[in-house]
Structures are given as C-alpha cells and as structure tokens.
Chains A and B, each alone.
Chain A
Amino acid sequence: MLEIYDQVQEACAFIRQQWNHDPHAGVILGTGLGSLVEKIEVEAMIDYDQIPHFPRSTVISHRGRLVCGKLCGLPVMVMEGRFHMYEGYPLKKITLPVRVMKHMGAQLLVVSNACGGMNPYFKCGDIMLIEDHINLLGDNPLIGINDDRLGPRFPDMSEPYDLHLVDKALELARKNDIVAHKGVFVAVSGPNLETRAEYRFLRAIGCDAVGMSTVPEVIVAVHSGMRVIGFSVITDMCLPDALEAADVAKIIATATSAEPKLRTLVSGILDYERARLGKA
C-alpha cells in the first residue's frame, strides 16, 4: 500500500497538466452506461493508457478514458470504462482512479453498474439504489501495510452509501416516473455468471442484486473519506427457478435502453449537490 501515495501524486500531476480543476464528484460508468458522457461539457479527455499507473480496460463495452468537464454545472471526472477483478488486476490497481479522484478534490463518488436482479420484485431495466453491500470477492483493496495519509487502518463500514442521497434519488425517481428500488448489492469475482445454486445462496444471505464490480471502488472511497452513491441497473433477472441463459448482447442492450433513467437520476443528484453547495 505504501507505493500508492506516490502513484496517486504522479497521476494527478499528469491530469492537472490537461485539466487543472477540482472536481466535485468522481463518476464511474458501468457496462453499457457510457452514454452519460454525452451530457458532459467536455473540457479534457484522457485515455487511460496515457495516465501514469492507470491500468487499461480490456473489456468490450468499456471505452477506457477519463472525461473531465462540467455536468449540471459541477466539475466532474468521469471514468468511461472501468476495471474488474476478473481482468486479472489486483484490487489496489483497480481502485487507483478513485484515489486519484479524491486527491484531485472529489468529495463524492457516483458509481454505476449493470447487474443481475435476484429480488423477485425487480424487473429488467429497473434501477436499484445500493443501500449496502456484501463483499464476496475473497479479497480487499486495503490489504497491505496501511498508509495513514490515505485513510484509517480499519475503516468503519456501517454506512458505506450515503443514505440521505439514496432517499433523494428515490424521490427523484418517483417525480420522474422511474421504477427504482433500494437494496443490497453483492460483489463476486466472476467472470462466470452464477449457478442457480449460487443465486439461491446469495438470495438467502440477503442480497438483492449481484455484480462483479463496484465494491472495491466503494471500499476505497470510504477509506479515503468520500461520500458514495451507487446505482445498479438491473440488466437481467436471476431467478433460480426460472433461469434463462445469460446473453451478453441482451444485457448490454438492456443497459443501453435503461441508460436515460440513470442519466436523469445522476443529473438530479448533481443538481441537488450544486444547490446544497450554493446554500453552504
């Protein structure tokens, strides 16, 4: 963990050469959700492979560049394309961009993913606000000698997601006639999808949605003292007794068609943040 601080400094120095602003929020866009970028007043676009110490995204449907600019009048840094444990990257590497966002000045992490819904009340295309998570990755991005400059040795996890923002997002969803739930997200390493027995197990231990990302980034955001809001787009239903074979093309299509809802909610939250900052 002791090498990370210097890596963050170097990455920030590089980004500041092209975009010298303090972002209010860092945004991570998940599978098929990249078109939120169209709404940004872009001021800089930097490919991951140019930024020192950044890993390279290897997944189709993830672009792999950092978009800096203004969204709803707030300065933001948006990751178009993210990294996953199943790509073989260590979790420390995957979460480095979050530390960079924090070091640039971001206080809020907005994270999104496409995931499987296990709660039978959910439908494909619904949005779930992440209220809490379970880490079944079998690993943790904070393993190693702790660097106290980055955060505490034993971060508290009693409220990793800002519950006030969760309520705000649900309110926005109601106003805009969007079906949104709140629930527990579980992260598994993947890349295989779950067996029916695994879905039963995950449902039994209290999970509403399952995916292969998000939890490492959230742990690091909490470690570094950021507030977090997480959106899951339910892109396929994982009901063990009526399971259909997963079709990646269909999953991406669902994500793409649900994307406008996500866009509405994310913009709404950023509007709310801007108003809150204005008052302060």
Chain B
Amino acid sequence: MKDRIAEACRKIRQERMLFPEVAIILGSGLGGLADSIEHPTKIPYSQIPHFPVTSAQGHAGNLVLGFLSGVPVIAMQGRIHRYEDFTPDDVCFPLRCMQHLGAQTLIVSNASGGVNPRYISGDLVVIDQHINFLGQPSPAEHDQATLSRNVDIYHHGLIERAHDHARRNGFTLHQGTYLATLGPTYETRAEYRFFRKSGADVVGMSTVPEVLCASQLGMRVLAFSIVTNVALPDHSTSTNHMEVISWSEIAAPKLRHIVTGLLQELAGPAD
C-alpha cells in the first residue's frame, strides 16, 4: 500500500508541484466547485497509477490541484463508490494520496436523501455524526490505533465556523447524522422508517469510508450533505438520479460560500 501511494504521488508531483493544505471530495452534482479552483492542473484518474476509475453519471473523474481562496488545495472531482464494487481500500486510496501530499484537512460533500421531516430539498446539512450501514469493515489496511474510538471524527471547530458562514450569508445550515448504505438502490419506505428510528437525518451511499480513513490518518474532517429529496415514507414519491443532480446544483452555491469563506480564514493571518 505504501509503495502504491508513493508511486501515485510521484506521478501527481510530476504534473504539479504543490503542497496542498486541504483535500476536497466533491459528490454528485457538486463537481462545479472544482471549476472555481485557480491556476488548476487537472489530472484524470486514469493517468495516475493505482487510482480506481469511476463510472457514475455526474462524476467527472479528475484530480484537480490549485488554489481556492488563496489556499493550496487538492480536489477529487468525481468520487469512488462502494456500489461500483470498489473495496474500502480502493475508495480510500485517493484520500491517502492527498494526505501523503500534505493535506491536513478534509472537506467532503455528498448528495443525500433527507429522512428528517424538517428538511427540504436543497437544504445543506453539516454532518456531526454518522451511522455506518455499509455492511463491511471500513479501511482494511489499518496503520495504527485501529481500535481508537474516534469520538470526534467531525471537527467541532470547523462545524462552528461553517455555521458562522451560513449565518453571515443568510441561509439555513442544519447539523445532523448521516447514515451510509451500500446502495445502489434508493431506499424503500420501510427502510426510510427504520433509518429515521435509528437516528439518521440524511441517508446516502458514500462519505463514511473516506471520513473514517481521514480520521485514522489524523486529518481534520468537515462534511456536508446536500438534501436532494426528502423521504416521507407515508407520502412517498419516486426518486430519480436527474432530480438528485439538479437539487444538488441548486444547493451548490451555499456550499461554495461556506467552503471559500473557511478557506479565506485559513489563508488570512494566523489567528
């Protein structure tokens, strides 16, 4: 694993000599944020040794290096999902590379179904807890401290600052629990009821493997869900992927405000 990471990073450094501070993983329909990266270098996953290659619609499949609000960043435009039959190790490989290149903070987003009836489509949720229903152990390769409890996987300080930026920009930011399923089927009504009872606010098919890995690597994690449909099991409507993508495009500017705002703070004089 270490050798494969080193090999991939050598290739990335050949393309662009940059020491990123922040790693960004953009989910369904959010790839647009990668377009606001300044002085970008785009590297298709297929050109990086050992990188898994994605197939989902709405996921581009490039690694983008450059500056966002003056901070050196590395972004995954298009992510790797378990439902494509990638192992947890595959899913986390790009993240391990980004950390190896220097990133200390992970900002990750996803499109998700709201199970909390107070949410509406297009809302943004900052994740402070998760429930792992992926059915298999996450990152198989444990470096050290595998059995640590990870009380604070999601960084409280960053969550508070995300709330500040939401308030300043005048939109609602919820805080809630994300539940990860394997997918690729959307949930049945019975499953939504079960997830709601389990304490989930949003449900999706990603994020948890990467977040667990980042936490193991000692990174600070900030994670967002865009609510693309609200599942009300007693008044169920069908879900389609196009709708999911268009709602996430509507909510994308909110996420952009928060992310660029946070990065400006990082770039500014040390506080």
Q: Is B241 a contact partner of A134 (Cβ separation < 8 A)?
A: no
Contact of B184 among A146, A159, A205 (CB under 8 A): A146
Q: Please, which residues of chain B bring their CB within 8 A of the CB of A142?
A: 83, 183-185
Q: Is A154 a contact partner of B182 (Cβ separation < 8 A)?
A: no
Number of interface residues of A (CB under 8 A): 31
B157 within 8 A of A: no
Chain A 124-144 residues near chain B, CB threshold 8 A: 132-135, 137-140, 142-144
Interface centre among B83, B85, B190, B193, by most A CB within 10 Å?
Answer: B190
Q: Please, which residues of chain A bring their CB within 8 A of the CB of B84?
A: 143-145
Q: Please, which residues of chain A bring their CB within 8 A of the CB of B182?
A: 138-140, 143
Contact of B188 among A134, A138, A146, A152 (CB under 8 A): A134
> What's the least CB distance linking A76 to chain B, in Å?
26
Interfacial residues, chain B to chain A (CB-CB below 8 A): 55-57, 82-85, 135-136, 182-191, 193-194, 197-198, 236-241, 244
A105 within 8 A of B: no
> What's the least CB distance linking B135 to chain A, in Å?
3
Q: Which residue of A lies closest to B240 (CB)?
A: A156
Q: Is A158 a contact partner of B189 (Cβ separation < 8 A)?
A: yes
Knowing A142-B184, A146-B55, say if A158 contacts B194 (CB, 8 Å): no
Contact of A134 among B183, B184, B191 (CB under 8 A): B191
Q: Is B186 a contact partner of A156 (Cβ separation < 8 A)?
A: yes
Query: Can you give 12 A-B contacts (C-beta < 8 A)?
Result: A132-B190, A134-B191, A138-B182, A139-B135, A142-B83, A142-B184, A144-B84, A152-B241, A154-B239, A155-B186, A158-B189, A205-B197
Q: Is B197 a contact partner of A204 (Cβ separation < 8 A)?
A: yes
> What's the least CB distance linking B134 to chain A, in Å?
8
Q: Please, which residues of chain B bring their CB within 8 A of the CB of A144?
A: 83-85
> What's the least CB distance linking A234 to chain B, in Å?
18
Interface centre among B56, B185, B187, B238, by most A CB within 10 Å?
Answer: B185
Q: Is B190 a contact partner of A145 (Cβ separation < 8 A)?
A: no
Q: Is B135 a contact partner of A132 (Cβ separation < 8 A)?
A: no
> What's the least CB distance linking B56 to chain A, in Å?
7
Contact of A153 among B82, B190, B237, B241 (CB under 8 A): B241
Closest 8 CB pairs of A and B: A138-B135, A205-B194, A132-B190, A144-B85, A156-B238, A158-B236, A184-B190, A157-B188
Q: Which residue of A lies closest to B54 (CB)?
A: A145
* CA A154 to CA B190, docked complex, whole Å: 18
Q: Please, which residues of chain A bring their CB within 8 A of the CB of B198?
A: 205
* CA A183 to CA B190, docked complex, whole Å: 10
Other A-B pairs, 8, CB within 8 Å; known A142-B184, A155-B184 = A142-B183, A143-B85, A152-B240, A153-B241, A154-B186, A154-B244, A156-B240, A157-B187
* CA A142 to CA B83, docked complex, whole Å: 8
A219 within 8 A of B: yes
Q: Is B197 a contact partner of A154 (Cβ separation < 8 A)?
A: no
* CA A158 to CA B183, docked complex, whole Å: 14
Q: Is B85 a contact partner of A145 (Cβ separation < 8 A)?
A: yes
Q: Which residue of A lies closest to B56 (CB)?
A: A153
A206 within 8 A of B: yes
Q: Which residue of B lies closest to A183 (CB)?
A: B190
Q: Please, which residues of chain A bring their CB within 8 A of the CB of B136?
A: 138
* CA A157 to CA B189, docked complex, whole Å: 8
* CA A145 to CA B84, docked complex, whole Å: 5
Q: Please, which residues of chain A bring their CB within 8 A of the CB of B238?
A: 156, 158-159
Q: Please, which residues of chain A bring their CB within 8 A of the CB of B83?
A: 140, 142-144
A265 within 8 A of B: no
Q: Which residue of A lies closest to B241 (CB)?
A: A154
Q: Is A206 a contact partner of B194 (Cβ separation < 8 A)?
A: yes
> What's the least CB distance linking B265 to chain A, in Å?
36
> What's the least CB distance linking A85 to chain B, in Å?
12
Q: Is A132 a contact partner of B197 (Cβ separation < 8 A)?
A: no
Q: Please, which residues of chain B bring their CB within 8 A of the CB of A155?
A: 184-186
Q: Is A157 a contact partner of B241 (Cβ separation < 8 A)?
A: no
> What's the least CB distance linking A188 to chain B, in Å?
12
Q: Is B236 a contact partner of A207 (Cβ separation < 8 A)?
A: no
Q: Is B85 a contact partner of A140 (Cβ separation < 8 A)?
A: no
Q: Which residue of B lies closest to A141 (CB)?
A: B185
* CA A145 to CA B86, docked complex, whole Å: 10
Q: Which residue of A lies closest to B236 (CB)?
A: A158
* CA A219 to CA B188, docked complex, whole Å: 10
A160 within 8 A of B: yes
Knowing A143-B85, A158-B236, say if A206 contacts B184 (CB, 8 Å): no
Chain A 162-179 residues near chain B, CB threshold 8 A: none
Q: Please, which residues of chain B bring their CB within 8 A of the CB of A139?
A: 135, 182
